[in-house]
Structure 1
Amino acid sequence: MKNSLFWLLMVICYTSYGQKVFSVDYSNQAEIKVFIVKYENQADLKVFKVSYENQAGTNNGKWFFTKYANQADKKIYFVEYENQADIKIYFVAYENQAGWRTKSKMHLFY
């Protein structure tokens, strides 16, 4: 019983970080609205797109884009204007550059 409870908690903790994302077609389908900024210093979160699902584990800016909405932890919508966004992101070239610049927005991906 204890072992089952332990594994259940591990699965819940692992999947609750929200780094597997799916880009929806309409804003009303999204949990989070995202705007891509031109410069790194304007971003709340610096994002690195990983190639494999198992590389996106924690709330650290390493995103894996899923093929289907039901595989994602969070559904996002890319907005056209900055004032429509819940969060501003900047895509970085290297994995070690990913991370939060504005920690007050971290709760959006839990």
Structure 2
Amino acid sequence: SSQADLLVYKVQYESQAGKNDGKWFFVKYESQADKKIYFVDYASQADLVIHFVDYESQAGWKDNSKKQLLY
């Protein structure tokens, strides 16, 4: 996770999703989403590098300069 801009924890319920703090809830349909995320094959193609973490307490920004990308 040393190259990650953001550490993301996938929460179980939509109500647990944070406000740009790395706690994400994945919806079933694109129309329900606040943000669209596209996964790429190479980190060099990404605007934002994320790593998924196992614990909610690990979630958060590593590079605050990228935070604006999700506002």
Question: Match for residue 57 of structure 2?
Answer: 96
Normalised to the residue count of structure 1, the TM-score between the two structures is: 0.63
- Give the 4+ runs in structure 1 shifted more than 6 A: none
Other structure's SS at 1:77 match: coil
The answer for unaligned runs of 5 or more in structure 2 is none
Q: Distance in 2 between matches of 1:97 and 1:50?
A: 12
Higher strand share: 1
Aligned residues: 71
Question: What is the alpha-carbon distance in structure 2 between the residues aligned to residue 91 and residue 57 of structure 1?
Answer: 15
Deviation at 1:57, TM superposition (A): 2.9
Report what 1:65 is aligned to.
26
Instruction: Show the counterpart of 2:38.
Output: 77
Question: Tell me, which stretches of 5 or more residues in structure 1 are unaligned?
Answer: 1-39
* Residue of 9, 26, 36 corresponding to 1:48: 9
CA distance in 2, matches of 1:57, 1:70: 19
- RMSD (CA atoms): 0.6
Q: Which has the higher contact order (CA 8 A, sep 6+)?
A: 2
